[in-house]
């Protein structure tokens, strides 16, 4: 038996210890080589009389399947379909994808007891291996987590996860686990019944061996003829109280945009009516079909492969040495500055939080107290964590406290004069060589850098609110920004565990240009007489997580008014829509409705504990209301999806974004652009540029020239090009 990814040792009691430790990787994954070796190990356990049972242990975490391999499997199907036909190609793909299921089932039925000792992250196919073992022990380490997160990249568990979880947990709990894809802590997993024991890391292997010795005849619960699923039969009174609501919840949450979620529902529903072997065959067929879906391909590319590359710093300049940040300064302790202070201190950095006076600075620090206290209340942090975090934040109005800072983030009020003054005060203390970053959402970085002592050391870092929850940071390059500034900014963003995208300077940068067009369309719909509830609901049907009116409230209706006013002042009346101006001006100037911040926006925000509701006065501002039955829902959905995609294409053609990966990841993480599409440019590629251009022109004919496709996109459609195809060709050249 030749093993490269596992170590196999047998002790004096005949208990085999199988240690999973892939060389050259920071984390174990499932790939064809691993599957083949697991097959060899199962053969050895079952056939060697000297082996009485086995314990599988992890030398490091398991991240699930190698999604690059799954992407390759889809490409191989496409190649075979062209040369051998779709039926032959599908048969070949099913044979590949069901191998993991088969080898896990062989392990489960090998006739000897097998336990798994879990220390660290054990997700996806790794946890499915654990579920195929007869006993599971997890360490009580803070790093240990289990779960099946495949749904987050458009897939679902294909190694028996849907069938084993559905036989371990009551059906509602199983479906919720599979739909959410959360990482689960050991104590919670034990309470759920997913694992059997929790113990100190140093004891789990021995405890697993002891269990194996004490249970020579172990078998999976579902292999007992008397086994009954926790929720009973599907067709039973209990089942009928479960499945119709489950289907309704699925439709409410997904609007049928996520084939993998539907496949989970079907796989569990059908599988629970069958013996395990047939149930696993059902799961494999559903998994194969989902693997070939355009949604899975787009989500795997954007949310796993591209995001992984960006998180690893693929855009970091190679010629700049790594910066080892220890202490940072934050100018401005308002909502954004306070949030940046929290994530920085939470990452272990020392923080100097500056504001105009001590009370304002303390208020900013109190935000960190509030956030970490909430984490403690949820069991996600400890009192000691809070004490250490708050000790790392020094709140003060004294700029002299910035001495020794390695990096400074300016997050003061969105006004040039205020930002210039803060920058000058800080540089007077630190000098010209410390990299300065401005957290601005609209002001061009090149113009802000004019007040800096060294424009080449000045860069933009655009955070999104709330900072502690939003994972994206837009790094903006001014005209004179140098590689050192980019390298330091990139190191900072990665240190606080955010995903960076690098964009070139322009008004609104990339994400805001896209999201402003999304919100503009909703404002125009409202003024056309489309009912506000229909606007919000159809946006969710299109795949956006937050309705555009609610999003305007969250970002601030008054901010929308400031942006409109500034745009008109700088570029003239023709640069804004008069109808939108009338709506926002009425909301802010006349009605004093600023959004969630003052409890009044497109929604009314009542006392805590009560649900927000759309403001009845919106109809009066519009002056008309259309009959919903006369409105095309498909048109509304396209009016939400097309403007951000068109703007993303313009940004790429203008050189604001230079990489489709950043455009896609930025649109999903920045404002939740329909994740099932893979992002703005993937939406165009997935639809096909030719079909996209035709539909854009049809929308332009009805709703106006803002839907007209850029000439470069028309050329791409005529030539049969795609954004990712062009990017690959450019890279190859």
- Catalytic positions are 441, 462, 474, 512
Spatial distance between the Cα atoms of 281 and 99, rounded to a whole number of angstroms: 11
DSSP, collapsed to helix, strand or coil, labels residue 566 as helix
Do 145 and 121 form a contact (C-beta atoms < 8 A)? yes
CA 201 to chain centre: 30
Q: Is there a cis peptide before residue 466, judged by omega within 30 degrees of 0? A: yes
Do 438 and 419 form a contact (C-beta atoms < 8 A)? yes
Tell me the residue ranges of DSSP E strands in 466-530: 472-477, 499-504
Q: Given the structure tokens 């100190």, which residue do they identify?
A: 200
Spatial distance between the Cα atoms of 291 and 572, rounded to a whole number of angstroms: 50
Spatial distance between the Cα atoms of 282 and 514, rounded to a whole number of angstroms: 41
Spatial distance between the Cα atoms of 121 and 137, rounded to a whole number of angstroms: 13
Sheet holding 62-65, edge to edge: 28-30, 62-65, 121-123, 145-147
Which residue(s) pair with 435 in the sheet? 407
Spatial distance between the Cα atoms of 116 and 570, rounded to a whole number of angstroms: 65
Q: How far apart are the first and last CA of the chain?
A: 44
Cβ neighbours of 12 (radius 10 Å): 5
Sheet holding 499-504, edge to edge: 393-396, 350-354, 327-331, 407-410, 435-438, 458-463, 472-477, 499-504
Do 462 and 439 form a contact (C-beta atoms < 8 A)? yes
Do 480 and 456 form a contact (C-beta atoms < 8 A)? yes
Q: Given the structure tokens 């599908």, which residue do they identify?
A: 90
Q: Are strands 472-477 and 458-463 parallel, antiparallel or unpaired?
A: antiparallel
Sign of CA dihedral 107, 108, 113, 114: positive
Per-residue b/e over 443-458, b at no fewer than 16 CB within 10 Å? bbbbebbebbbbbbbb
Question: What are 604's two structure tokens?
Answer: 């009314």
Helix (H) or strand (E) holding 243: helix 237-254
Do 690 and 327 form a contact (C-beta atoms < 8 A)? no
Spatial distance between the Cα atoms of 113 and 646, rounded to a whole number of angstroms: 58
Do 438 and 410 form a contact (C-beta atoms < 8 A)? yes
């Amino acid at each position: 038996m030749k093993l490269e990814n596992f170590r196999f040792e047998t002790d004096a009691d005949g208990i085999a210890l199988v240690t999973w430790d892939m060389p050259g990787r920071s984390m174990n994954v499932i790939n064809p080589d691993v599957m083949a070796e697991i097959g060899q190990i199962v053969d050895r356990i079952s056939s060697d009389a000297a082996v009485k049972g086995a314990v599988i242990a992890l030398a490091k975490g398991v991240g699930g399947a190698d999604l690059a391999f799954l992407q390759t499997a889809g490409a191989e199907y496409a190649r075979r379909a062209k040369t051998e036909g779709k039926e032959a190609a599908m048969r070949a793909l099913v044979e590949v994808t069901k191998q993991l299921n088969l080898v896990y089932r062989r392990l489960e039925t090998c006739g000897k007891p097998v336990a798994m000792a879990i220390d660290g992250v054990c997700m996806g196919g790794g946890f499915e291996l654990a579920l195929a073992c007869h006993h599971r022990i997890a360490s009580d380490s803070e790093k240990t987590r289990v779960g099946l997160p495949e749904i987050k990249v458009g897939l679902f568990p294909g190694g028996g996860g849907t069938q084993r979880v559905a036989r371990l947990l009551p059906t509602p709990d199983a479906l919720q686990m599979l739909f959410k894809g959360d990482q689960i802590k050991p104590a919670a997993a034990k309470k759920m019944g997913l694992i059997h024991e929790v113990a100190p890391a140093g004891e789990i292997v021995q405890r697993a061996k002891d269990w194996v010795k004490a249970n020579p005849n172990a078998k999976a619960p579902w292999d007992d003829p008397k086994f009954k699923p926790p929720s009973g039969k599907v067709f039973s009174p209990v089942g009928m109280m479960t499945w119709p609501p489950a289907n309704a919840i699925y439709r409410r949450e997904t609007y049928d945009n996520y084939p993998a979620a539907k496949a989970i529902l079907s796989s569990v529903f059908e599988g629970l009516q069958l013996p395990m072997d047939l149930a696993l065959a059902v799961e494999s067929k559903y998994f194969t079909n989902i693997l070939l879906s355009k949604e899975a391909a787009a989500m795997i590319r954007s949310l796993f492969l591209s995001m992984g590359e960006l998180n690893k710093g693929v855009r970091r300049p190679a010629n700049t040495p790594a910066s080892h940040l220890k202490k940072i300064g934050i100018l401005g302790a308002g909502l954004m500055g306070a949030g940046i202070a929290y994530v920085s201190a939470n990452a272990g950095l020392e923080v100097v939080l500056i504001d105009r006076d001590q009370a304002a600075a303390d208020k900013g620090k109190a935000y960190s107290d509030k956030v970490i206290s909430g984490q403690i209340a949820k069991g996600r942090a400890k009192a000691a964590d809070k004490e250490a975090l708050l000790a790392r934040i020094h709140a003060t109005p004294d700029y002299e406290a910035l001495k020794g800072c390695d990096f400074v983030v300016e997050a003061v009020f969105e006004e040039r004069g205020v930002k210039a003054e803060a920058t000058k005060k800080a540089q007077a203390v630190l000098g010209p060589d410390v990299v300065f970053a401005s957290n601005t959402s609209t002001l061009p970085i090149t113009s802000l850098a004019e007040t800096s002592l060294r424009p080449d050391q000045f860069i933009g870092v655009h955070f999104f609110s709330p900072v502690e929850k939003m994972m994206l940071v837009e790094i903006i390059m001014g005209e004179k920004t140098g590689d050192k500034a980019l390298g330091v900014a990139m190191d900072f963003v990665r240190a606080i565990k955010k995903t960076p995208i690098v964009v070139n300077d322009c008004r609104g940068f990339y994400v805001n240009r896209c999201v402003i067009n999304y919100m503009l369309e909703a404002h125009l719909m409202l003024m056309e007489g489309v009912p506000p509830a229909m606007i919000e609901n159809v946006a969710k049907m299109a795949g956006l997580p937050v309705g555009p009116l609610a999003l305007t409230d969250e970002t601030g209706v008054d901010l929308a008014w400031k942006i409109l006013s500034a745009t008109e002042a700088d570029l003239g009346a023709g640069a804004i829509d008069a109808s939108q101006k009338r709506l926002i001006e009425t909301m802010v100037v006349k009605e004093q409705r600023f959004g969630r911040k003052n409890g009044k926006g497109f929604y009314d925000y009542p006392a805590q504990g009560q649900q927000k509701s759309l403001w009845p006065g919106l109809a009066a501002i519009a002056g008309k209301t259309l009959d919903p039955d006369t409105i095309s829902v498909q048109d509304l959905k396209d009016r939400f999806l097309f403007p951000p995609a068109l703007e993303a294409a313009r940004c790429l053609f203008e050189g604001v974004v230079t990489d489709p990966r950043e455009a896609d990841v930025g649109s999903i993480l920045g404002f939740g652009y329909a994740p099932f599409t893979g992002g703005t440019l993937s939406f165009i590629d997935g639809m096909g540029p030719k079909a996209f251009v035709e539909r854009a022109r049809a929308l332009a004919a009805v709703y106006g020239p803002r839907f007209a496709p850029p000439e470069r996109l028309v050329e791409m459609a005529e030539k049969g090009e795609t954004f990712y195809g062009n990017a690959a060709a450019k890279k190859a050249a």
